[in-house]
Amino acid sequence: MNCYIVDAFSDKVFSGNPAAVCILDKWLPDMLMENIAGENNLSETAFAVKEGETYHLRWFTLAGEIDLCGHATLACAYVVLNYIEKDWDSVIFTTLSGNLTVTRKGEVYEMDFPSYHLKQIEATKEIANAIGIMPKAVYIGRDLLCVLEDEQEVRNVTPDLEKVKALDGLLLHVTAKGESTDCVSRTFAPKCNFPEDPVCGSGHCHIVPYWTKRLKKEKIIAYQASKRGGTLYCGIAEDRVKLGGKAALYAISELFVEK
């Protein structure tokens, strides 16, 4: 069984967000997929099985299966469209979050994702103590979204990850208006056993709805200001988010596991 390592949301290796991708003939036992994800020791490992003209896609973090992941979806589309279905321009994935379509547009892979509804909540002392600064505003969807004053605050934030675990939401995103892009953000995922997600696609299903409304723009360029960094070309269409990004292949390996 081949395992592809792809750096998503980047046009070169050693940046963006690395994901492992395994294209299967049939499903493996869940525990084996969890063990493979743990052995890969990346934030996400994607597993996909072809079903007719679509692919059934599942994502596993170091803590188990998750319902939505952007960078591993982009990585899986990159593998399918470049190594498996070379004559396809797009691929439809059936997932726990419904059907997700990824379309190749030159070097950019554009994903059609659901948009999370954001509810504004109080900026509490517990939130401020966890992230190390009092946010301007706080919203909750699947994840917690904290809006900071400016880009430098986002870049400098050092959260207490144990305290972050006690906050609502699966992931924690901090964001602000960007200096050279429309917005910047960082994502922290201690509940998934991963301190900081280098570039979070599903997080931008919260970030993009906020900033497109705030900036009154249908299309924005977002930058995830982690150590690795990554750029997303984003848009909004009713209850859907468009997330575009480039990808670079780092490795193809063969896994010696009993199926």
- Known catalytic residues? 44
Element containing residue 121 per DSSP (H, E): strand 119-121
Where do we find the tokens 């003939």? 25
Which tokens belong to 211? Answer: 């900033």
Best CA proximity match to 119, nearest among 96, 143, 97: 143
Pairing of strands 219-224, 183-189: parallel
Rounded Cα distance, 52 and 49, in Å: 10
- Residue 239's identity, in one-letter code, is D
Integer-rounded Cα Rg, in Å, for the chain is 18
Measured in whole angstroms, how far is the alpha carbon of residue 144 from the centre of its chain? 14
- Residue 171's identity, in one-letter code, is L
